[in-house]
Amino acid sequence: MNRKKFLLPTVMTALLVFLLTACGGKGAVADDMRPAPEVTEPAQTGGAAEAYTKYADYEPVQAVPAELIPGTNHNVLIAYFSRSGNTNIADGVDAVSSASLTVNEDGSTLGNTEQIAGWIAEITGGDLFLIQTEYTYPVDYDQTVEVGEGQDIDGYHPNLISHLEQVEQYDTVYLVYPIWHYTLSVPTVAFLDEYDFSGKTIYAFAANAGSRFADSIEKIQAAEPEATVIEGISVSQREMDGAKDAVSAKIQELMEEVPSMGETSEKEQTAMKMNVQVGTYTFTATLEDNDAVRELTEMMQAGPVTINMSDYSGFEKVGPLGKSLTTSNSQTVTTAGDIVLYNGNNIVMFYGSNSWSYTRIGKIDDLTD
């Protein structure tokens, strides 16, 4: 993957000038409880059936890859992992002991993530792709829990048997996955290992039994550092009835916030830029289109805006703007080079990553390797 790093000097007593200014020292947000991002360990990989049977007594079979279901909008991909499609259900439909699978009258099964992904495909017209592991998980739910949790604890990333042929065509990826063992399910991690979604927008939708998103958003962002990861909604298995409306409303909201591909290109052509001076370093940054940026632009028109910044938690510089701007906060997973508004009146510039509710201001263009 393309893992560019933004080399913001970590010790400085210099200016960040929208001009913004940065200086060393602590204190600006000392009582801030924002958590540091988690560091992920390298995973083991492999595909042997033994990596499944060591946790539960059952007979996994080699999966038959399902075809991608093309929609009408080939810029949008809906990739999902579900027990349905990853369980050899034909061998034991009566043995299903789970709130996770609906067994239809004709014997066909529908998983929760499968159902959510289907709704998203219906609403967006995107291509629908089932993430499939090389071997099937048990039909029995409790056994699947044992296998899934065991694989997570052991850091095992299963081999996948279904593969996307054309990833470049997608600018938007809806990733629909179950929470397993209080985190991103291991087959979903394996899927993110396989593809580079740099520059794409990933909307995360998590099926669960109460853990909501757990730490899955951070895990997705860590796996795809150059993608924009946006929280969709988490759906508990108890809320599946009526969840279609919630999913539909969320997608509507996301579509209003993020322009379509065509609109993005147009916007890029007219994107507003500003110069950012940090000490002796000068960067350009592309600005967002929101009220906070418009108000900041007005400030800059009156003269350089200088901010004294201090380091916070080893991943950001933060400093008071001296004025409150109109916020449009949303849960944001930041990457190096992001400039955001925190608490309405603090400018934060990232050289690492964090997840918090911010208003985006812009992003440094010229990241250095």
Residues that bind ligand FMN (CB under 6 A): 82-83, 100-101, 111-114, 144-145, 148-149, 178-182, 207-211, 237
Q: At what angle do helices 186-194 and 141-153 cross, to 10 degrees?
A: 50
Q: Least distance to ligand FMN from the beta carbon of 211, Å?
A: 3
Q: Least distance to ligand FMN from the beta carbon of 231, Å?
A: 16
The pairing of beta strand 338-342 with beta strand 355-364: antiparallel
The amino acid that residue 146 corresponds to is: E
Q: What is the DSSP string of 247-303?
A: HHHHHHHHHHHS--HHHHHHHHHT--EEEEEETTEEEEEEEP-SHHHHHHHHHHHTS
Tell which phi-psi region holds residue 35, choosing left (phi > 0), alpha (psi between -120 and 50) or beta: beta
Q: Least distance to ligand FMN from the beta carbon of 24, Å?
A: 41
Among residues 268, 180, 175, the alpha carbon closest in space to that of 227 is found at 175
- Residues counted in the chain: 369
CB 179 within 8 A of CB 216: yes
State which residue, 237 or 328, has the beta carbon closest to ligand FMN.
237
Q: Least distance to ligand FMN from the beta carbon of 62, Å?
A: 20
State which residue, 180 or 358, has the beta carbon closest to ligand FMN.
180
Q: Which residue has the tokens 């409880």?
A: 33
**Which residue number is nearest to ligand FMN in terms of Cβ?**
148
| Distance (Å, whole) CA 369 – CA 355 | 23
State which residue, 35 or 210, has the beta carbon closest to ligand FMN.
210
State which residue, 149 or 226, has the beta carbon closest to ligand FMN.
149
Strand, helix or coil for residue 152:
helix
Strand, helix or coil for residue 59:
coil
Q: Least distance to ligand FMN from the beta carbon of 123, Å?
A: 18
Q: Least distance to ligand FMN from the beta carbon of 208, Å?
A: 3
Q: Least distance to ligand FMN from the beta carbon of 112, Å?
A: 3
Q: 3-state secondary structure string, 89-106?
A: HHHCHHHCCCCCEEECCC
State which residue, 7 or 153, has the beta carbon closest to ligand FMN.
153
State which residue, 113 or 162, has the beta carbon closest to ligand FMN.
113
State which residue, 215 or 295, has the beta carbon closest to ligand FMN.
215
Strand, helix or coil for residue 229:
strand
Q: Which secondary-structure segment (H or E) carries 218?
A: helix 216-223
| Distance (Å, whole) CA 18 – CA 328 | 20
Q: What is the DSSP string of 298-315?
A: HHHHTS--EE--EEETTT
Q: Least distance to ligand FMN from the beta carbon of 144, Å?
A: 4
State which residue, 114 or 224, has the beta carbon closest to ligand FMN.
114
Q: Which two tokens stand for residue 304?
A: 């350089």
State which residue, 144 or 228, has the beta carbon closest to ligand FMN.
144
Q: Least distance to ligand FMN from the beta carbon of 130, Å?
A: 11
Strand, helix or coil for residue 224:
coil
| Distance (Å, whole) CA 334 – CA 172 | 18
State which residue, 163 or 181, has the beta carbon closest to ligand FMN.
181
Q: Least distance to ligand FMN from the beta carbon of 36, Å?
A: 22
